[in-house]
Amino acid sequence: MNTSISSKRFNEKTIAELLNGMAFPSLIVDSKGIIVKCNKSFVKIIGKNAEGRSVSPVLGITPSDLDELSEYFYHVSEINFDIHPVKLKRKKYFLFLGSKTGKQFSKSESQIKGLVHDINNILASVINSVTLLKRQYINEQKVVNLLDNIARNSKNAADIIDEGLSAGPYFWEKENVVDVVSIIKDAVNTAESSAGENAVINLTGNLKPAYVKSIRTNLYRAILNLLYNASETLKKKVKIDITVKETKRIAELKSKTDGMEYLLISIKDNGSGISKKNINNIFERGFTTKVKKRESGIGLSVVKEIIEASSGYIFVKSQLGKGTEFKIYLPLVKNKEAEFDPNKKTILLADDELSLLELMSDLFESYDYNVLKATDGKQLINKAKDNVIDLYIIDKKMPKVDGLKCVEKIRKKNGKAKIIMITGSVDSKFENKNRHAFDEIIYKPFDFNQLLSLVEKLIV
């Protein structure tokens, strides 16, 4: 459908009719960069309704770019947008009219998904192997610490690769309820490994699990970016203090938060600081005052977009020669399980190896399962009591209560429960003796496709 813009003035009805009549993705954005209206074709390519969201995380365009653009190529779906400024009730808007470039993306998207899936399987195998090595070197703490670091970073690499399939130049598709404290810990471990002796990072405060609705990989990259920036100041050795606490008050805002609880993350360094001239520009796309030693993949403009896309706030204060402090406020979700879709099957994963647990959780969530997690046998038993579980995946060796005893307790409650046992050692005597206790057994290191096929076999 060819549409020409013959007038620069429209009313709401005209715009709605225009967008709904477009065969290709189209949308209208206000002067602040908020998507006011989008048609079904646009919703289809990004996977959800984007109305009310900022155009920055959706398409990668900042509001300041709009006046300078007459067209924009959205590479993920091979869509070329013609951008037309329009007026509605004396307010300025931007009309994005999409058209195909002629090259189809579906085939390459399928190939990429297959490749990503294979890479994730390799990383899952790496993490499984690390788990086995840790058990062999349990008394050598330095070795265990190094293995933990390999596992954590393999998990984070898997997350970034997996999220890279989503629409847009940044990752905005799979929003879930995530434990932000575990994300902070992962970012700190990565930053410490990279900075070496150049930075000392202290993490204090309320470090119990705290849940927010966001995308794990985005928050990880945002926090890591702030830590990298702090570690790369002019001082040879930088001290970075991170404090975490819950609050009902946002000191930087004059308006009330209506009783909503936030997690406050303060990242403070004693580095060279930022001048008054530059501090107002640090969240602008492309702005920098230094040459970085490494790239975290995003800048402060995207850090701000990530926090705001999570319904949060970010503030900065700094003084030359004394250092910089970033404060992030993220709204808390008190009951993670309350976010579960009742129409989806629920899997309870139990493993004391956190990296493997998180990787399996992310993978199963990507296949539209609700996922509960337990890091020891006691947690598993409590969650089994409080929730309707369609399938249990349980590691044989766990602290507090081992996997087999957990299975016995579950069977007493529900003799028809579906259970997959995970073990790191092939033991035919164990398997033959306890075969009645579980439906399937799988050995580490395993291929995720193998585990997924067992899950699909047991959950009808």
272 and 304 inside one domain: yes
Q: State residue 166's pLDDT score.
A: 45
Average pLDDT over residues 440-454: 82
257 is a domain residue: yes
pLDDT at 217: 77
| Phi and psi, residue 350, nearest 5° | -135, 115
- Count of C-beta atoms within a 10 Å radius of residue 70: 9
Question: Are the CB atoms for 26 and 96 separated by under 8 Å?
Answer: yes
b vs e for 8-25, b when ≥16 Cβ sit within 10 Å of the residue's Cβ?
eebeeeebeebbeebebb
pLDDT tens, 287-314?
A: 665 544 444 446 788 899 889 988 899 9
Examine the domain organization and report whether 395 and 442 are in the same domain: yes
pLDDT tens for 30-69 read 888 888 888 888 887 777 788 888 887 788 777 777 877 7
Q: Tell me, yes or no, whether 71 and 180 share the same domain.
A: no
**pLDDT above 80 (res 143):** no
Of 32-36, 123-127, 277-281, 364-368, the least confident: 123-127
Q: Which residue has the higher pLDDT, 286 or 165?
A: 286
Average pLDDT over every residue of 156-179: 56
Does 90 share its domain with 178? no
State the average pLDDT over residues 179-193.
84
Among 339, 344, 357, which residue's Cα sits nearest to residue 177? Answer: 339
> Is the pLDDT assigned to residue 153 strictly greater than 70?
no
When pLDDT is averaged across residues 140-161 and rounded to a whole number, the result is 67
Q: Residue 441 pLDDT more than 60? A: yes
Q: Are residues 35 and 58 in the same domain?
A: yes
Domain membership flag for residue 345: yes
Distance (Å, whole) CA 363 – CA 446: 14
- Answer with the one of 100, 126, 147 that is the final residue of a domain: 100
Percent of the chain with pLDDT over 70: 70
pLDDT band at 274 (very low <50, low <70, confident <90, very high): confident
User: Does residue 351 share a domain with residue 297?
Assistant: no
Averaged pLDDT for residues 405-412: 91
pLDDT of 3: 39
Give the tens place of pLDDT for each residue, 422-440. Answer: 987 767 777 777 777 889 9
* Cα Rg of the chain (Å, integer): 25
Count of H-run helices and E-run strands, the chain: 14, 17
What's residue 355's pLDDT? Answer: 73
190 and 311 together in one domain: yes
DSSP lists the bridge partners of residue 247 as: 262
Give the mean pLDDT of 365-382: 88
Q: Taking the CB of residue 3, how many other CB atoms lie within 10 A of it? A: 16
**Residue 188: is its pLDDT beyond 70?**
yes
Domain-embedded: residue 283: yes
Residue 133, in any domain of the structure: no
What is the domain extent for residue 439?
A: 341-458
The CATH number of whichever domain residue 268 belongs to comes to: 3.30.565.10
> Is 108 within the bounds of a domain?
no
CATH code where residue 92 lies? 3.30.450.20
Whole-number pLDDT of residue 135:
67
- Give the rounded percent of residues in the chain with a pLDDT score beyond 90: 18
Of 233, 119, 125, which is closest to residue 165 (Cα–Cα)?
Answer: 119
Q: Which pLDDT value is given to residue 172?
A: 43
User: Structure tokens of 268?
Assistant: 């403070």
CA–CA distance, 321 with 304 (Å, rounded to integer): 24
Please indicate, yes or no, whether residues 350 and 325 belong to a single structural domain of this protein. no
The DSSP secondary-structure symbol of 300 reads H
Res 332: pLDDT: 92
Residue with tokens 């879930």: 176
Which tokens in the block code for residue 181?
A: 């404290």
**Interatomic CA distance for residues 328 and 317, integer angstroms:** 12
- Specify if 125 maps to a domain: no
Average pLDDT over residues 167-195: 71
Final residue before a domain boundary, out of 72, 100, 128: 100
- Answer yes or no: do 180 and 327 share one domain: yes
Calculate ∠ Cα 142-148-151, nearest 5°: 145
The reply to whether 149 falls in a domain is no
| CB contact at 8 A, 79 and 100 | yes
Average pLDDT over residues 21-25: 72
Which residues have CB under 8 Å from 270's CB, separation 6+?
Answer: 235, 238, 239, 322, 323
Per-residue pLDDT tens over the stretch 331-357: 998 765 556 677 889 999 999 887 788
Report the CATH number at residue 370: 3.40.50.2300
What is the per-residue pLDDT for 293? 46
Is 309 found in the same domain as 352?
A: no
Residues 350 and 308 placed together within one structural domain of the fold: no
Is the model's pLDDT at 108 over the cut of 60? no
Q: What is the pLDDT of residue 349?
A: 95
Q: Structural domain tally of the chain?
A: 3
- Mean residue pLDDT of the chain comes to 77
Give yes or no for residue 164 having a pLDDT over 60: no
200 & 319 share domain:
yes
Q: How confident is the model at residue 112 (pLDDT cuts 50, 70, 90)?
A: low
Q: Which pLDDT score, from 0 to 100, does residue 282 have?
A: 85
Would you place residue 381 in the very low, low, confident or very high pLDDT band (cuts 50, 70, 90)?
very high
* Per-residue pLDDT at 246: 93
**Is residue 205 assigned to a domain?**
yes
Residue ending a domain, choose from 100, 131, 163: 100
Q: How confident is the model at residue 315 (pLDDT cuts 50, 70, 90)?
A: very high
Region for 105 from its dihedrals, namely left if φ exceeds 0, alpha if ψ lies in -120 to 50, beta otherwise: alpha
Average pLDDT (264-278) is: 89
Structure tokens given for 73: 């190529």
pLDDT at 405 over 50: yes
Least reliable range by pLDDT among 136-145, 360-369, 447-456: 136-145
H or E element at residue 87: strand 79-88
